[in-house]
Structure 1
Amino acid sequence: MKEIKGGDIKAIRQYAQMSAEQLAKAAGVTVCTFMSWERGHTAPSINQLITLLRASGIDSETYLKQVFAAQRSTLFDFFKVVQFSRVKR
């Protein structure tokens, strides 16, 4: 999966037409954390990214499909990135 860069976070914020403070609050993170993402010092987890997308009014499923399509990722790549637990039988 494509690594989320600071420019991606900034583009999401600009799309939402929100300040860093507004989007951080809507996404449930501190302004410091959000600014660290936007500057590219750190990156959100997949769960944080989905929350951020929802808070900005972007459909997370569509966004992630576009990211996968752009990268021609395989299902194997997806499972390498996303942490999941097996269903107990």
Structure 2
Amino acid sequence: MAELQFPEELAQKIRDGQKHGVSEENMVKGIVSLGNLLEKFTEPDTAEEALMKTMWENANEEEKYTIARLIVRIGKKNIH
């Protein structure tokens, strides 16, 4: 099976969450929690990951939720 690209993988996870009754707001909260964990315990491997980590470190809580909502929106656009 071909490796899925990020938007398609994200869409699949959102689809799975929807099937199990996970609300969009709970998905957003989960993404924020995951982002906070990744910020503390991972080091970026690419320039893009380093930029994302820097953005996350400098974002306030409202901005983190905005980023998470954008991630959900991107995933939902890729649901076919």
Report TM bin, short chain: 0.3 to 0.5
Going by fraction, where is helix more abundant, 1 or 2?
A: 2
The higher relative CO (CA closer than 8 Å, separation ≥ 6) is in 2
